[in-house]
Amino acid sequence: MSDNDSGRAPRKRVTIKDVAKAADVSPMTVSNVVNGKHQFVSERTRKAVEREIARLNYRVQHSARSLRVSRRRSVGMIFVDESPSFLVDHFNAHVVAGLCNVLSTADHTVTVQGIRAGQFNQSSIIRNFAVDGFCVVLSGPPDERNAILNSLINLDQPLVLMQEPIASPNQETCIVRQDDAGGGRLLADHLAARRVGTVLVVVPSQNWPAIDQRVAGLREGFLAAGGDVRIDVVHAETEEFDSARAAVIGYLDRHPLPNAIVGGNDRFAIAAMSILLDRGIAVPERVKITGFNGFEQRRYARPLVTTVISSAYELGERAGQMLLTRFEEGRFPTRELVLPVYFELGETT
Amino acid sequence: MSDNDSGRAPRKRVTIKDVAKAADVSPMTVSNVVNGKHQFVSERTRKAVEREIARLNYRVQHSARSLRVSRRRSVGMIFVDESPSFLVDHFNAHVVAGLCNVLSTADHTVTVQGIRAGQFNQSSIIRNFAVDGFCVVLSGPPDERNAILNSLINLDQPLVLMQEPIASPNQETCIVRQDDAGGGRLLADHLAARRVGTVLVVVPSQNWPAIDQRVAGLREGFLAAGGDVRIDVVHAETEEFDSARAAVIGYLDRHPLPNAIVGGNDRFAIAAMSILLDRGIAVPERVKITGFNGFEQRRYARPLVTTVISSAYELGERAGQMLLTRFEEGRFPTRELVLPVYFELGETT
DNA sequence: CTGTTAGCGCGTTCAA
DNA sequence: TTGAACGCGCTAACAG
């Protein structure tokens, strides 16, 4: 392996000084080489320094550099979510992936954390993040979200709020979201054209602003389409598949079959559909079904659900870009960015 | 919002000194309060200091603290994966969630990064991680994995390797994995008992050690069960649903229908099943199907696939615990940890 | 219980 | 093109 690690004694950290000594130059020169300030270093010394860096296996000490330049090259990604498996949601997973990939290209690092709304203020976790900015997905009822938002703002760092329907409250915060309400309207138009008269909407009881927007858009769309549509909403206790199923079963036990079921996301749509199929109710003939998000998992269920496609990965990328330009240019390029969503016809309508 | 942010001038950073001055104590006392060393601080001064901390909105400067104590309280989670959406895989998502939750409880932070095998050594990204240890999921062919492993070892930091079948190469590295081979054997036993004579195994061409283990266990199991089973393996180009479908279609075009199809994970199993259903081939009557992992998404497809359950979340938790005790006690409690897997009967066998 | 001193490793500033 | 001095904010070690 490396040439001289016979013992397991913790080798002393190799510093810029050590490299300087070995290459017989000043520490400053090493620093210039490390940071690519080649204007200040002759080709020959640079080569020599680089050789010593490799030989000694030198790596910069980020805490020292950060302390000096007060820049961490790092952003914190926070999910306020009741579920411990906050990343299992595909939306979240895509956002993180997009964010990470954009930021790592610019040599930045992403620190992830899921946290329950109730613990947010107690927890020192967020305050302990050593980052230059945050990207946050909030959930929970409006007043709780607001309290968290205030804590975040008090951190006094660049902040990207994902999927928040509110306006950016100040210069230091920027909204990145998709047009969820528009998605709801697309679904309403589609269903209205199919003469749907009663709709069941299935959503988690955990309050996600994006899902609220979808439902609001749905209502709005039906209203605009004229016709007299009855919309019932049921709340599943948790985000889980069985929880959504239970909510639908509860509803169906007490109400006539609706003409359509709209899931707050594809998982909920598929859960609802599974019950209809269990009961031999034909989809889409007797009941139409639509979901929301359009991630790959939707392919597992048949018939394929009609949905509205979210660009979650791109949302993450955009958030990353926003933060990067905020870091480089001192301000966000825009206070709000809204990505479009796309209607995707499946076999369930 | 906060009481005095009239201007948008970047407020100067509040340091321990500022708090000390305001509370009329020495910086050291503030430090002791911040770090909970209450033995060294009287109740009264502590209260006073805490009041000033809150009033001035003081937060510790982690780079300074880290520089001083040479401890970052942070770990890096790395996925060597060809897919940019590395977190969309439920296994990975669960691992991250488990790791994050355990570590955040101990006031540690997790930095995530997905990286392509080919870029690993070029990239300065990993070297730039300011962390106390790494948790890594490797993929790719053995020699490539080995090269990466060596780079990682050269970082000279505590290292947890997830899902690697190898033995821990040194004191600083620890293996955390599940018994994938055992899972393969469970599946083989089950299928052998159902008199399966020909098996198609569908795996991604990207080389995941865990999947190799599953297949090896499967072979072993069939061998042990006696009988003369023919096992064919097809490789899907990517990890995607359609890619798996294409691989299965290609196989079926050239071979008679196997008695069973085993997916390297549930997604692959479900993709294979979708083709059989398209063609009106009865599952499980004509072809039996099994998957691997048992995450919730498996519920979307019907019939429900028989599978082997992975405890990915727990794997992440255990990795976190390993690292924490390594940090606190200077050594890993064990060099290898193997979690069991569980057979889960579905409707496809 | 509280204060003082010193220095972690780096990069900026300025002088050579 | 290179070097020396200094200090970023914090805490270990010790002195009071």
How does pLDDT run across A52-65, given as a tens digit for each residue?
888 888 888 999 99
B142-172: per-residue pLDDT in tens?
889 999 999 999 888 999 999 999 999 999 9
The pLDDT tens digits for B84-93 are: 999 999 999 9
pLDDT at A10: 47
Interface residues for strand C (CB within 7 Å) are: A 13, 15-17, 27-28, 31, 34-35, 60-61, 64-65, 67-69; B 24-29, 32, 39-46, 64, 67-68, 70
Residue numbers of B between 205 and 234 with CB closer than 8 Å to A: none
Chain A: give the shortest CA distance to residue B193, in Å: 28
Selection from B345, B277, B304 nearest residue A242 by Cα: B304
| A241 shares contact with chain B (CB less than 8 Å) | yes
Rounded mean pLDDT, B176-185: 98
Q: Which nucleotide is nearest to A63 (CA to C1')?
A: C9
Residues of A in contact with B128 (CB under 8 A): 60, 62, 73, 107, 109
If 0-12 CB within 10 Å is exposed, 13-18 middle and 19+ buried, where does residue A183 land? buried
- Chain A positions touching B88 (Cβ under 8 A) are 90, 93-94, 97, 295-296
Q: Decide if B90 touches A, using CB distance below 8 A.
A: yes
Angle, to 10 degrees, between the axis of helix B312-329 and the axis of helix B90-105? 40
Q: Which of residues 275-314 of B touch A (CB under 8 A)?
A: 277, 295-302, 313
pLDDT at A342: 97
CB contact under 8 A, B109 and A101: no
**What is d(CA B33, CA A9) in angstroms, rounded to the nearest whole number?**
34
On the question of pLDDT at B2 being above 70, the answer is no
More confident residue, A112 or A42: A112
Q: Which nucleotides of C are covered by protein (CB under 7 A)?
A: 1-5, 7-13
Nearby residues of A219 by Cβ (< 8 Å), 6 or more positions away: A184, A188, A231
| Residue A189 predicted with pLDDT over 70 | yes
* Banded model confidence at residue B11, pLDDT cuts 50, 70, 90: low
Q: Would strands A159-162 and A173-178 be described as parallel, antiparallel, or unpaired?
A: parallel
If DSSP states are collapsed to H, E and C, what string results for A89-131? Answer: CHHHHHHHHHHHHHHHHCCCEEEEEEECHHHCCCCCCHHHCCC
Q: Where are the beta strands (DSSP E) in chain B?
A: 74-80, 109-115, 133-137, 159-162, 173-178, 198-204, 230-236, 260-263, 288-290, 307-309, 336-339, 342-344
- Determine the pLDDT at residue A247: 98
User: Which pairing describes strands A307-309 and A342-344: parallel, antiparallel, or unpaired?
Assistant: antiparallel
Q: What is the pTM of this model?
A: 0.93
Q: Which residue is nearest to nucleotide C8 (CA to C1')?
A: B68
Give the residue-averaged pLDDT of A1-9: 36
Query: Are the C-beta atoms of B302 and A273 separated by less than 8 Å?
Result: no
Q: Across the interface, which of A66, A90, A97 has its CB nearest the CB of B63?
A: A66
Tell me what the mean pLDDT of segment A246-254 comes to: 97
Q: Residue B168's CB: how many other CB atoms inside 10 A? A: 17
Report the run of H or E that residue B246 belongs to, with start and end: helix B241-254
Q: What is the pLDDT of residues B94-130, one digit of tens each?
A: 999 999 999 999 999 999 999 998 888 776 777 778 8
Distance CA B226 to C1' C11 in A: 70
Q: What is the pLDDT of residue A11?
A: 56
Give B187-244 pLDDT, tens digit per residue: 999 999 999 999 999 999 999 999 999 999 999 999 999 889 999 999 999 999 999 9
Q: Is A138 on the interface with B (CB under 8 A)?
A: no
pLDDT at A14 over 70: yes
- Judged against a pLDDT cut of 70, whether residue B8 lies above it is answered with no
Determine the 3-state secondary structure of B168 from DSSP. coil
Residue B3, pLDDT above cutoff 70: no
Measured CA to CA, the distance from residue B299 to residue A244 in angstroms comes to 12
Residue nearest to nucleotide C3 (CA to C1'): B26
Task: Give the pLDDT of residue A47.
Answer: 87
Which residue ranges have CB below 7 A from strand D? A 20, 25-29, 32, 39-42, 45, 64, 67-68, 70; B 13, 15-17, 27-28, 31, 34-35, 60-61, 64-65, 67-69
Q: What's the token pair of residue A55?
A: 């030989």
pLDDT at A5: 36
Q: Is the pLDDT of residue B9 over 60?
A: no
Say if A128 is an interface residue toward chain B (CB within 8 Å).
yes
With a CB cutoff of 8 Å and minimum separation 6, the contacts of A223 are none
Closest-approach residue (CA) in chain B for A10: B156
**CA-CA distances (angstroms) from residue B164 to A150, A152, B167, B176, B205?**
44, 39, 8, 8, 18
Nucleotide C13: closest residue by CA–C1': A28
Q: Are B85 and A93 in contact (CB < 8 Å)?
A: yes
Of A153, A301, A313, the CB nearest to B301: A301
Which pair of structure tokens corresponds to residue B251? Answer: 């196989």
Average pLDDT along chain B: 92
How confident is the model over A25-38, as a mean pLDDT? 86
Q: Which residues of A touch B93 (CB under 8 A)?
A: 85, 87-88, 93
Q: What is the pLDDT of residue A13?
A: 78
Residue of B nearest to A239 (CA): B296
